[in-house]
Structure formats: structure tokens, C-alpha cells
Structure 1
Amino acid sequence: MIPAPIRSVCHWPKRHLPISLIIGLCFISQFTWLIFPELKELLAFNHQAVERGGWYRLISGAMIHTNGYHLLMNVAGLVAITLLFGKTVSSVRGFVAWLSITVLSGLAIYLLVPEVKWFVGLSGSLHGLLAWAALTQLPKHLYSNIALLIGLTIKVVFEQVTGGDTGTSELIGARVLIEGHLMGALSGVVVALITQILIRLKK
């Protein structure tokens, strides 16, 4: 008989299929560019390339990471958000929200922070997904979600003031894109508002 914890781990990908898809795409993208290094520059967010019509980079840039530490940190963050919010994020609606946040935050960086010429990583999207999920579930778990939103706000503001964590920068081999965290969180708020409007229109 398979122990319950092992069964739970084995069933996790099926129960959280959209999240498993995102994680799978991240790992596939990472291994692909490790085998074919030239693909990294084809997938990364690049301001000039987006300007020339490479809009796919708004999404593909979030799928690849600077190194294994960067990838695992972001995957761990995505799993943590999934454990906190369950089907709220691991649903078709959650996947569409994540995709919308990813595109919107990338577009915001392109338009509002043109000095950011290049980036990779999922962390901006994760900040947005956390904000979206907490706001979406606010009526059901008021105090815990308010605490999460306050914590997220403090983190993002602190990063803007201090310039980010140098220890994390050393670990991932790149500057922590604090602008991405800010734009991601704001995009999550915007998508949460749109989600609530659409829900009300359907009623």
C-alpha cells in the first residue's frame, strides 16, 4: 500500500494541472536553452526585440531563468502560492489570470521602465499571482489575505527603496528585477479588478 504522503505527491500534478503545465514549461525551456545556448537570447525579454515585434518574449521571458537556483526558487514560490490558494490558482481561471499578469507586467516594463533592456524569470508573475489570488479570495478569508497583501506591499516597497537583496543577486547571477516585482504586483491588482467585474457581469 502506498503511503498517503507519497500518493498526495503523485496526484499533485493531476490535481493542479495548470500549475504543473507552467512548471513543466519552465523546466523544458531551461533544459532546452542549456542544450542550445543561442535560444536564451531568442526567448528572453529584450526591449529592442519586443520593439521590433517580438511580443512573444513577454511570455517566454518568464519561462527561462538565469540558472538552476533561479528556476528552483521561482518554482518553489509557485508551489507555495498553490498550496496557499489551491484551486483558486490551479484552475483555468487561475491559469488565464497568470497569463494575463505575465503579459501585462511585461508590457508595463516595456512601456514604463524602458531602461530595463533584458530580463528573464517568473518572479514578477508570481508577485502578481499572489496579489490576484489574495484579492480574489478576500471575502472568504479576509484577515489572512489582508495580512498577505500587507506583507507583499511592504516587500515590494522595501525593494524599491533598498534596491533588492544582494544575496539573491549573487545566487542567481543577475540583478534582482525589483521593477518586475512592482509591475507584477500592480498587474495582479488590475487583473483581480477585471476578474471581479467579469464575475459580476455574468451574474
Structure 2
Amino acid sequence: MIKWRQWWVNLPFSKATLIPISVLSLVMLILYYSGQWTASLDEWVYHRTSILAGESWRLLTGALVHHDQPHLWLNILGLWLWWLLFIEHLPSWRDWLWLPVLLVSSTLAMFWLDPQTQIYAGFSGALYGLYAWGAVADTFLRRWSGTAIGIGLLVKCTYDTLYLPSTTDIAFMAHWGGIVAGIAIALLHQRLLRQKRHSAGQSR
């Protein structure tokens, strides 16, 4: 109980860490529930034929909309669980500027590697990317619990890809796209941090 309280107290509660994830959650909620009252949802989902026709914004918005409530709320729950585990690696709102890269990477992976899928909606690919980012960042800090989460993520995606039927609703390629982008961002972020520390050391 004491450890739990210490862990809770050490969470980085600040505007920089709470506002971005709150806004992201709110955007997904608004897009879903407004789409239930209007036909606007069809304008935002990933639709391969429409993207080929020039509606490229769907590569971004398709990762923010959802077809049903369970998928929406599961992704929001997963997002806040990620916040509890890994938000310390994104201490500034500027770090969230990488989010569109994760969003588009997941849908581009669908576009390039899964041409049979015509319609897709969901944040799960980007969410996998966030977890991959956090797991790699934890590994650099020798926090092996994060490493275990990353390994579990890879094992799950590998199992899904190899053993689940192609008719399943799971978007394998979107998940892989998010994971690859998340790992790449984490490695780049780590390199930038090292360069910043090196520059700070030389200026002293």
C-alpha cells in the first residue's frame, strides 16, 4: 500500500502531460458520437478507394475514428494505461508532435501492405506505437518491466499475424506500422536527448 502511494505521488501530473492526452481522448469521443448523429463518420474513416481518389486526409483521421463503442473505449482505456506507465518519456507537449507520425504510419502500413482491406477505423495502431515507444525508452533506462511489455507486444503481433485467420477484424498491418514507427521515434528521441546532453556538457 505504501509503495502504491509513493508510485501515485510520483506521477508527473502537469498541464504538459495531462492536456494532450485529455484532448486526444476528447477528439476521439467527439468524432465517434457526432458520427452517430450525422453521416460525418463516413467522411473520416480510412477508405482505400477514396484515398486513391485523392482524399489523403483519411490516412490521418482514419486512426482517430471508431466503428463501435467497445473499440473506442478499449482504446481510450489503453491510452490512459499507457499514460500511467510511460508518460514520463513525453514530459513536454512538443513530444506529442510525433503523434501524427504514429497515426499516419499505422494507416500507411494498411495502405501499402494490406490492399485487400478497403475500410478501417481505429486508434489501436497508433496505440501500439505509443507502447513500443515507451518500452524502448524504458529499456534505455534499464527498466526491464517496460522491456517485457515491448516483448509481449511483439509476441502478440507476431502470433496474430501468423495464426489468426485473415478474416479477423484485427488490423495486423496497422499494428505493425505503429510498432515500427514507435520504435523508430524512440530511437531518434534517444539520439536527440544524447546530443542535447553532449551540447550542454560542452557549453559548461
Q: TM-score, normalised by structure 1?
A: 0.81
Which residue of 156, 171, 178 corresponds with 2:172?
178
Identity of aligned residues (%): 28
Which residue is equivalent to 1:193? 187
Determine whether 1:126 maps to 2:120.
Answer: no
Give the unaligned 5+ runs of structure 1: 1-7, 170-174
Residues 38-53 of structure 1 mapped to structure 2, 5 A cutoff:
38-53=39-54
Change (3 A) 1:89 1:66: farther
Query: Are 1:67 and 2:61 an aligned pair?
Result: no
Task: Identify the residue that residue 29 of structure 1 maps to in structure 2.
Answer: 31
Q: What 5-or-longer segments of structure 2 have no aligned partner?
A: 1-8, 200-204
CA distance, structure 2, for counterparts of residue 94 and residue 76 of structure 1:
21
**1:89–1:133 contact (8 Å) kept in structure 2:** no
Alignment partner of 2:140: what SS? coil
Moved over 4 A (4+): 12-15
How many angstroms does 1:96 deviate by?
A: 1.9
Deviation of residue 13 (structure 1)?
8.9
- Partner-residue secondary structure (3-state), 1:116: coil
Is the 8 Å Cα contact of residues 16 and 91 (structure 1) preserved in structure 2?
no
**Residue of structure 1 equivalent to 2:55:** 54
- How many Å separate the matches in 1 of 2:52 and 2:40? 19
Note closer, same or farther for the CA distance 1:93–1:132 as it changes in structure 2 (3 Å cut): farther
* Equivalenced residues, count: 186
Letter in 1 for 2:145: S
Aligned 1:41-190 pairs, distance under 5 A: 41-89=42-90, 91-163=92-164, 175-190=169-184
Q: Deviations over 1:42-100 (max 9, x none)?
A: 10011122222222112211111111111110000001000111232464244223221
Q: Which amino acid aligns with 1:33?
A: G
Q: Compute the TM-score of the two structures, normalised by the length of structure 2.
A: 0.81
Equivalent pair of 2:108/2:177 in contact (CA under 8 Å): no
RMSD: 2.5
When structure 1 is superposed on structure 2, of 119-128 and 44-53 the one drifting more is 44-53
- For residues 112 and 196 of structure 1, the distance between their equivalents in structure 2, rounded to whole angstroms, comes to 28
2:23 & 2:14 partners in 1: Cα distance? Answer: 8
> Is the radius of gyration larger for structure 1 or structure 2?
2
